[in-house]
Chain A
Amino acid sequence: SQTIHQWPATLVQPVGSPLSLECTVEGTSNPNLYWYRQAAGRGLQLLFYSVGIGQISSEVPQNLSASRPQDRQFILSSKKLLLSDSGFYLCAWGWGEKLFFGSGTQLSVL
């Protein structure tokens, strides 16, 4: 069966520090991978999606970047965090409209 792992569950980082959130999927090949973010009081916003290794599409301009170094690994990064980067980050995998989500990372930038 397929599983998705996302870590850490919570993270507190100072403004200006770097960020790396990792997501891995097991039990499937060549999935589409997604990073979503939920800021306080707002819906889940799609940040990045990837249809293959090294292929990243950015949905919104921002302070973050994503990479897919391996088929089932998706990494969300920032060189210097901003206060506005605080939020709940969710990784997901799937095809088309069927998505399966990780348990999320609550990021607080102070």
Chain B
Amino acid sequence: GDSVTQMEGPVTLSEEAFLTINCTYTATGYPSLFWYVQYPGEGLQLLLKATKADDKGSNKGFEATYRKETTSFHLEKGSVQVSDSAVYFCALSDRSNDYKLSFGAGTTVTVRA
């Protein structure tokens, strides 16, 4: 079945540091890939997505590229801010699974001033 594996946290960074959160997936078909973010006290919200190989999703300075050859969708941001402190979830959606989302375990990121 479909599954998502993302790097374990927590991750603690200083402001303006570079952030990478690794995510790899297993799927039977050609899934769409997502990063969701949960800020403190809020629900999950979609951060970015990519629907086919080599697509790059981007939003709020974050980027992730759909790499079919390595089955990966790593999240990156070049210069983080304190407001980026949140839990980040990698997820996939596959037509063979009726497009239901499968999530990774989540990575807690804390950015210090």
A103 within 8 A of B: yes
Within 18-69 of A, Cβ neighbours of B (below 8 Å) are at: 34, 36, 38, 41-46, 49, 59
A44 to chain B, nearest CB (A): 4
**In the complex, per-residue mask of B69-113: 1 if CB is within 8 Å of any chain A CB, else 0:** 000000000000000000001010100000111111110000000
**Stretch of A70-78, A79-87, A91-99 contacting B (4+ beta carbons < 8 Å):** A91-99
State the interface size on chain B (CB cutoff 8 A).
22
B4 close to A96 (CB less than 8 A): no
- List the A residue with the shortest CB-CB distance to B90: A43
Inside 8 A of A41's CB, which chain B residues have their CB? 105
**Known A38-B106, A43-B4: A90·B99 in contact at CB below 8 Å:** no
Give the interface size bracket for A toward B.
20 to 34
B101 close to A99 (CB less than 8 A): yes
A interface secondary structure, majority:
strand
A36 close to B42 (CB less than 8 A): no
A43 close to B44 (CB less than 8 A): no
B41 within 8 A of A: yes
B100 close to A102 (CB less than 8 A): no
B61 within 8 A of A: no
- List the B residue with the shortest CB-CB distance to A49: B100
A46 close to B43 (CB less than 8 A): no
A92 to chain B, nearest CB (A): 8
A101 within 8 A of B: yes
Inside 8 A of B43's CB, which chain A residues have their CB? 4, 6, 90, 100-104
Inside 8 A of A92's CB, which chain B residues have their CB? 44
- List the B residue with the shortest CB-CB distance to A45: B103
- Report Cα–Cα, A92/B101, bound state, in Å: 11
Inside 8 A of B36's CB, which chain A residues have their CB? 101
B12 within 8 A of A: no
- Report Cα–Cα, A110/B71, bound state, in Å: 40
Partner of A43, one of B38, B41, B45, B103: B103
